[in-house]
Amino acid sequence: MTPGPTRPAGPRVPCIIVHGGAGADPGEGREELRDGIRAAVVAGFAVLERGGRSLEAVEQAVRVLEDHPRFNAGRGSVLTEAGTIEMDASIMEGDRLDCGAVAAVADVANPITLARGVLESRRHVLLVGDGASAFARRLGMPACAPEQLITDRRRAQHAEWMRKQAVPAGGGTVGAVALDRHGTIAAATSTGGMVGKLPGRVGDSAVIGAGTYADSTIGGVSCTGDGEATIRVVLARRALEYLKEADDPHYAAHVAIDLLVDEGRGSGGLILLDWRGRLGYAQSTPLMPVGWMTPARGGPEVPF
Ligand code: ASP
């Protein structure tokens, strides 16, 4: 691999990009999705604008979408074959490659905040199931009844799944990547996973390198789509390798999605940001809600 550009010291222009999951086009309710993405971008950018860290910005952006019932993360997560909720999330900061992740958690409203707690603990990288819940209590995060996270829409989708063993892949996983003034890149991803998944299944959104990766000398990535395919090709990390080689975020995003489709044998999408704050995204599915904000453009852009 040819060496990429070295990151010069000095302040950066902050930037954030957010996605709301690659999947089928629901046909209706796009305005609701746009409102959610816009709110997430604004919440994340507000952190960057006041000189805050990119780690905080991506956490705040993802929390907005975890709280929004239309997205497949936090409240509004899809259901397992057993009709239960099991959520995965991960977060990474690219200066020291600090990362934290949780998988198969059912009783926290904001899994991304729990993932950040794992990162801040600097003891482990990934906690799952009951152990993750116990750690949440240790951090003082209140227990949330899983029923509070289950929406009528997801109950109906589960019933349809039980009848047909297949429903249109709906997407709705959420993620964010940000660059702060200090030149630090962070990335975060949160999901309820795939509709009708087996209890205990863990997808790419909890796997550092597959669903999420950040390296402040190159950039940051958040992925969405078929988790098994994404893990197979270690998509987020591979996308950064393409970015380093090509020095072109748009190109890197598209080549990475070709990799997901051709070698991973799945479909999905990703967003990325390079160390200079240039963004890229690509998807192989009909829709992936995205939005971003930089100081140059004024308000958030939500072009979908
Ligand atoms: N990647 C997620 C998973 O496999 C699902 C998605 O992005 O829609 O759990």
- pLDDT for 215-231, tens place per residue? 999 999 999 999 999 99
Q: Which residues have CB under 8 Å from 135's CB, separation 6+?
A: 114, 117, 118, 121, 127
- Please give the pLDDT value at position 1: 40
Assess contact for 268 and 294: CB atoms under 8 A: no
The CA radius of gyration of the chain, in Å to the nearest whole number, is 17
- Please give the pLDDT value at position 2: 43
pLDDT tens for each residue of the chain, 304 residues long: 444 455 666 678 999 999 999 998 888 889 999 999 999 999 999 999 999 999 999 999 999 999 999 999 999 999 999 999 999 999 999 999 999 999 999 999 999 999 999 999 999 999 999 999 999 999 999 999 999 999 999 999 999 988 887 766 568 999 999 999 999 999 999 999 999 999 999 999 999 999 999 999 999 999 999 999 999 999 999 999 999 999 999 999 999 999 999 999 999 999 999 999 999 999 999 999 999 999 877 789 999 9
β-pair type (15-19, 174-179): antiparallel
Pocket test for ligand 1, best of 157, 191, 290 (most atoms within 8 A of CB): 191
Centre of ligand 1 to C-alpha 101, Å, is 15
User: In angstroms, how far is the first alpha carbon of the chain from the final one?
Assistant: 35
Full set of structural domains in the chain with CATH: 15-293 (3.60.20.30)
Shortest-distance Cα residue to atom 4 of ligand 1 = 227
| Ligand 1 atom at minimal distance to the Cα of residue 201 | 9
- Please give the pLDDT value at position 49: 95
Residue type, 125: V
- Please give the pLDDT value at position 169: 57
Active site residue 173: yes
| Ligand 1 atom at minimal distance to the Cα of residue 228 | 4
- What is the chain's length? 304
β-pair type (219-225, 268-274): antiparallel
- Please give the pLDDT value at position 8: 60
d(CA 228, CA 235): 11
CA distances to 59, 115, 159, 196, 213 from 63, rounded to whole Å, are 6, 12, 27, 24, 18
Sign of dihedral through CA atoms 226, 227, 229, 234? positive
Pocket test for ligand 1, best of 224, 230, 271, 285 (most atoms within 8 A of CB): 224
Centre of ligand 1 to C-alpha 190, Å, is 9
CA of residue 245 relative to chain centroid, distance: 24
Structure tokens belonging to residue 54: 């990119």
> Quick check: helix, strand or coil at residue 234?
coil
User: Catalytic residue among 80, 113, 173, 224, which?
Assistant: 173
Structure tokens belonging to residue 111: 């899994």
Structure tokens belonging to residue 256: 């990475």
